[in-house]
C-alpha cells in the first residue's frame, strides 16, 4: 500500500508540473560567454558575493592539510539533487520520458491508443489523470518504465535523450542544466570531493546521462528504483512493475546510506517540493564541518519563479543556517550555451 502511495506521489508530481510557465526565456538570451573553471576563478558563472565567498572558504578550509577542519579525501562526499538543482524541473524530464514511451508503445501497438491510460496521454486528457484515481496512474508508470530488461530500458533512454527537446525552450535537454552548478561540481571534484546525484527521479533514467551531462559515473547516481529480478535463461536483469525505493524526502538519507555508506559533507538541493530537507539535515550531522545549500527558484526572467506554499524549505534553511542560492542574484548565468 505504501508503495502504491509512493508511485502515486511520483506520478502526481509529474502531472502537477505540467503547467507551462510563460516566464521562461531561451538560453540563447543569456549572452555571456560560457567559461570553464580552468581560469583563476573556479566559479565564473557565480556573482561575487557572500555565498560564492562562503563556498570557496569552506572548500579551502576542509582541504587544508593540518587544519582542524581538514576532511580526508575518502570522506569528501558531495551529494546533489537533480531536478531543480542541476537542471530545470518545469516540466520534469521524467514526465517527458513517460510521454515519449507512451508514444513509442502506441506506434508499436496502435490498439493501445484506445486503451486507458494510454488514450488519455495520446489525447492530452489531463482530467483523466486528475480524476481517474490511482489505478490508471500506477498502470501508466508500470507500463512505460517496467516489464522489460535493463538493457532494453537503457536503449529506450538513449533514443529519448538523443531526440528530446525541452518544451517552451526548444533546446536539447543538455541545455537545461545549470551552468553555475556544472562549475561547482567541477570545483568540488578538483578538490578531491566525490560527487553523487541523489535524485527523486528513477535511477536508470538519470544514469543514462549522468556521465555526459555532469561528469558523474552511473554508480554515483542514487535514485528511485523498481524491483529487479535476475533471469538466468535470458541472462538479464528484469525490472518488475513494483517500486523498490522511493528516493525522495526521508528516502534520500536511506538511499545515501545504502549506496554511499556515509554522510555527505556537502549537500545541495532545491526548494519547490521540500524533497531535499532530509538529505540536508543528514549531511548537517556529519562529524566534519559540513555545507548545506538550497537553490531558490526566484528568477522569473531567466528561469522560473516558484515557491512552496508553506515555504518549508526556506524556513528550514533559515532555522539550521543552510546556505540559499538566489538564482536571480547569485548566478551570473543560468544555462550553458551548448
CB of 215 to a second copy, least distance (A): 10
Of 140-148, 164-172, 227-235, 265-273, the segment contacting a second copy by CB under 8 A is 227-235
User: Of the two residues 124 and 218, which places its CB atom closer to a second copy in the complex?
Assistant: 218
User: Of the two residues 86 and 88, which places its CB atom closer to a second copy in the complex?
Assistant: 86
Of 63-71, 108-116, 220-228, 267-275, the segment contacting a second copy by CB under 8 A is 220-228
User: Of the two residues 42 and 269, which places its CB atom closer to a second copy in the complex?
Assistant: 269
321: alpha, beta or left? (left if phi > 0; alpha if psi -120 to 50):
left
Among 63, 82, 220, 313, binds a second copy (CB under 8 A): 220
Q: How many residues bind a second copy (CB under 8 A)?
A: 39
User: Look-up: residue for cell 538466468?
Assistant: 232
Q: Contact 182/204 with Cβ under 8 angstroms? A: no
Classify strands 236-245 and 221-231 as parallel, antiparallel or unpaired.
antiparallel
Of 122-130, 184-192, 282-290, 321-329, the segment contacting a second copy by CB under 8 A is 282-290
CB of 179 to a second copy, least distance (A): 23
Residues 6+ apart with CB under 8 A from 244: 225, 226, 227, 228
Among 207, 243, 248, 322, binds a second copy (CB under 8 A): 207
Q: Determine if 253 is a binding residue for a second copy (CB under 8 A).
A: yes
Which residues, numbered 139-158, are part of the site for a second copy (CB under 8 A)? 150
- Nearest-angstrom CA–CA distance, 327 and 109: 44
Of 92-100, 176-184, 249-257, 301-309, the segment contacting a second copy by CB under 8 A is 249-257
Q: Determine if 66 is a binding residue for a second copy (CB under 8 A).
A: no
- Nearest-angstrom CA–CA distance, 225 and 71: 31
Can you name the residues that pair with 240 across neighbouring β-strands? Answer: 227
Among 57, 155, 211, 301, binds a second copy (CB under 8 A): 211
Among 14, 80, 196, 304, binds a second copy (CB under 8 A): 196
Among 103, 104, 281, 323, binds a second copy (CB under 8 A): 281
11 — phi, psi (to 5°)?
-70, -40
CB of 240 to a second copy, least distance (A): 11
Return residues touching a second copy (CB under 8 A).
74, 77, 150, 194, 196, 203-204, 207, 211, 217-221, 225, 228-230, 232, 235-237, 244, 250-254, 257-262, 278, 281-282, 284-285
Amino acid at each position: 500500500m505504501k508503495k502504491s502511495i509512493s508511485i502515486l506521489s511520483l506520478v502526481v508530481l509529474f502531472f502537477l508540473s505540467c503547467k507551462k510557465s510563460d516566464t521562461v526565456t531561451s538560453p540563447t538570451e543569456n549572452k555571456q560567454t560560457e567559461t570553464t573553471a580552468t581560469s583563476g576563478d573556479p566559479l565564473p558563472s557565480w556573482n561575487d558575493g557572500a555565498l560564492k565567498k562562503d563556498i570557496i572558504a569552506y572548500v579551502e578550509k576542509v582541504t587544508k592539510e593540518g587544519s582542524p577542519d581538514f576532511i580526508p579525501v575518502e570522506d569528501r562526499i558531495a551529494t546533489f539533487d537533480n531536478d531543480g538543482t542541476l537542471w530545470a524541473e518545469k516540466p520534469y524530464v521524467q514526465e517527458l520520458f513517460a510521454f515519449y514511451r507512451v508514444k513509442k508503445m502506441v506506434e508499436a501497438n496502435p490498439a493501445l491508443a484506445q486503451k486507458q491510460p494510454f488514450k488519455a496521454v495520446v489525447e492530452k486528457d489531463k482530467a483523466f489523470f486528475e480524476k481517474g484515481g490511482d489505478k490508471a496512474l500506477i498502470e501508466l508508470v508500470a507500463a512505460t518504465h517496467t516489464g522489460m530488461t535493463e538493457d532494453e530500458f537503457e536503449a529506450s533512454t538513449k533514443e529519448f535523450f538523443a531526440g528530446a527537446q525541452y518544451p517552451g525552450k526548444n533546446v536539447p535537454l543538455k541545455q537545461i542544466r545549470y551552468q553555475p552548478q556544472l562549475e561547482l561540481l567541477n570545483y568540488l571534484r578538483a578538490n578531491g570531493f566525490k560527487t553523487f546525484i541523489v535524485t527523486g527521479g528513477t535511477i536508470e533514467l538519470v544514469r543514462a546521462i549522468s556521465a555526459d551531462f555532469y561528469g558523474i559515473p552511473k554508480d554515483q547516481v542514487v535514485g528511485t528504483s523498481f524491483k529487479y529480478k535476475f533471469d538466468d535463461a535470458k541472462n538479464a536483469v528484469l525490472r518488475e512493475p513494483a517500486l523498490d525505493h522511493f528516493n525522495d524526502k526521508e528516502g534520500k538519507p536511506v538511499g545515501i546510506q545504502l549506496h554511499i555508506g556515509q554522510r555527505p559533507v556537502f549537500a545541495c538541493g532545491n526548494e519547490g517540493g521540500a524533497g531535499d530537507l532530509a538529505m540536508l539535515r543528514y549531511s548537517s550531522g556529519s562529524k566534519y564541518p559540513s555545507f548545506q545549500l538550497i537553490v531558490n527558484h526566484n528568477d522569473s526572467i531567466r528561469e522560473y519563479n516558484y515557491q512552496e506554499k508553506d515555504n518549508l524549505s526556506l524556513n528550514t534553511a533559515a532555522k539550521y543556517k543552510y546556505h540559499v542560492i538566489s538564482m536571480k542574484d547569485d548566478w551570473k548565468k543560468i544555462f550553458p550555451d551548448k
